[in-house]
Structure 1
Amino acid sequence: MTESAHARTLDEEAYPAAPGVRISLRPIANPMPVGFMALAVATLMLSALQLGWLPVSERDHVCMVLIAFAFPLQLLGSILGFLGRDIGVGTGMGMLGGTWLATAVVTLSCPAGVSTSPTLGVLMLAVAVGLLVPAAGAATGKLLAAAILLAASVRFALTAGYELTGAPLWGTVSGAAGVVLCVLALYGALALLIEDVGKRTVLPVFRRGAGRASMAGNLRDQLGSIERESGVREQL
């Protein structure tokens, strides 16, 4: 059966009440590896400042890395996540990218010698809570992605404690949590990249439910409810 004939069969069988209607899907590469790589680099750079691996004089340079490297890559991951019909990934990457950009801009506007900002503290606390939403969504299909988003939530909550109190202990604990998040994000990027290149799971990514069906199921399994997805249904 040719590709066009197969598409026509799907149209006729899946949508008998809408003859002539055809829904086109464009395959894309998995955007999670690039998003998680950006997360790993950004959290490591921030941890390097918090743990004293980089001198305070490097603060502005770290902010530029967040703006020029982490933000655009996670913005790309967010856009491709939504285009790939994965709202959990799209939302999580978008929140992370926006957080790095806001962190860099606020930090650059702080006077020299000021190491913390209550504004950043409130932002980090809000982001820590907000990341629980896409983490919960990812947990329905991809436990590894959910774990990385949850770890990012904990990392930002600890950073909020440091920004609000200015206590060095909070900074040290937050920096250590950032290093752990970096390692977890690097593993996630590697596992998901190998999976997407080989079209099979090699390193555990702990898929379940719809996430497992997306790798092990057939095309009909994944398109069964497409008429109820954003961009196809009449209202969001």
Structure 2
Amino acid sequence: MADEPALPARIVLRPIANPLPLGVLGLALATTMYAALQLAWLDPEHGQVAAVAALFFTVPVQLIASVFGFLARDAVAGTGMALLAGTWATVAVITLTSPPGATNAGLGTVFVIAGVAMLVPAAPAWAGRAVPAAVLTTTAIRFAVTGGYELTGSGAWEAAAGVVGLALAALAVYAALALAFEDMKYRTVLPVGRRHAGAAAMSGSEHAQTETLTYEAGVRRQV
């Protein structure tokens, strides 16, 4: 019996909006609230407000951004947003169940580990988009410094965590604005630092965007 001809395989792509502006704005809210506590702009009793804001605003929007990041075939965005959502959920729950202003060595350890983990999506991000990469890298620094404060209870560590937290918030807002303009205008309006594959994502041909689909997760046989 002659071999039957192979049937063609079709891959269907569905356009979606860039989920990163939503995710990094959630980050901006959480890091600003906790920075205000660390810099004593808010009384320690307001820690519950920061925790509730992180738990019911930041975590859900970052989970949404993570899911759509993976659906957009962007492992960096999906992984980074998922790590952020998990970290902020942990921080919020511990804040809600701890005395106001208390430090926690266990939470400090979580922060340090989360900071190291954030470097995993940050490293490949530098190869394509500098601004999102800077957000992820600064987040790693913010988590590490906050971990130092939680582990030591040092006022210097606390102040440093607050300052880095505010810098991160400003960078996150800029990234959200730049990426939102880019998605609306279909071109770069504010610099995002795209290069190599990141630049080709905005200016490359349709063929250039899809020529590697065979090798992507969900198409290849093994993840």
| Whole-angstrom CA distance in 2 between matches of 1:20 and 1:161 | 56
2:169 counterpart of 1:215: no
In structure 1, the residue matched to 2:165 is 178
**Percent of aligned pairs with the same amino acid:** 46
Distance of 1:61 and 1:39 partners within structure 2: 15
Cα displacement (A) at 1:20: 2.4
1:103 is matched with 91
1:24 has 2:12 as partner? yes
Provide runs of 4+ in structure 1 moved above 3 Å: none
Mapped pair 1:152 → 2:152: no
Amino acid at match of 2:115: A
Q: Alpha carbon RMSD of aligned pairs, Å?
A: 1.1
TM-score between both structures, scaled by the size of structure 1: 0.90
Question: How far apart are the structure 2 equivalents of 1:47 and 1:61?
Answer: 13
Residues 113/34 of structure 1: CA separation in 2 closer, same or farther (3 Å cut): closer
1:19 deviates by 4.1
Match of 1:63 in 2: 51
**Which residue in 2 is equivalent to 1:169?**
156
1:11-42 residue CA offsets vs partner (Å, 9 max, x unmatched): xxxxxx95421100000000010111111111
Unaligned runs of 5+ in 1: 1-16
Task: Answer whether contact 2:44 2:101 (CA < 8 A) is retained.
Answer: no
Secondary structure of 1:131's counterpart equals: helix
Residue 139 of structure 1 deviates from its aligned partner by 1.3
Question: In 2, Cα distance between the equivalents of 1:48 and 1:227?
Answer: 48
Q: Name 2:30's counterpart in structure 1.
A: 42
Which of 102, 126, 138 aligns to 2:125? It is: 138
Q: Taking structure 1 as reference, are residues 235 and 42 closer, same or farther at Cα in structure 2, changes over 3 Å only?
A: same
Alpha-carbon separation, structure 1, partners of 2:6 and 2:57 = 46
Distance 1:36 1:114 in 2: 26
Does residue 1:128 correspond to 2:118, yes or no?
no
Alignment partners' CA distance in 2, 1:152 and 1:200 = 27
Aligned with 1:93 (options 63, 75, 81): 81
In the other structure, the counterpart of 2:39 is 51
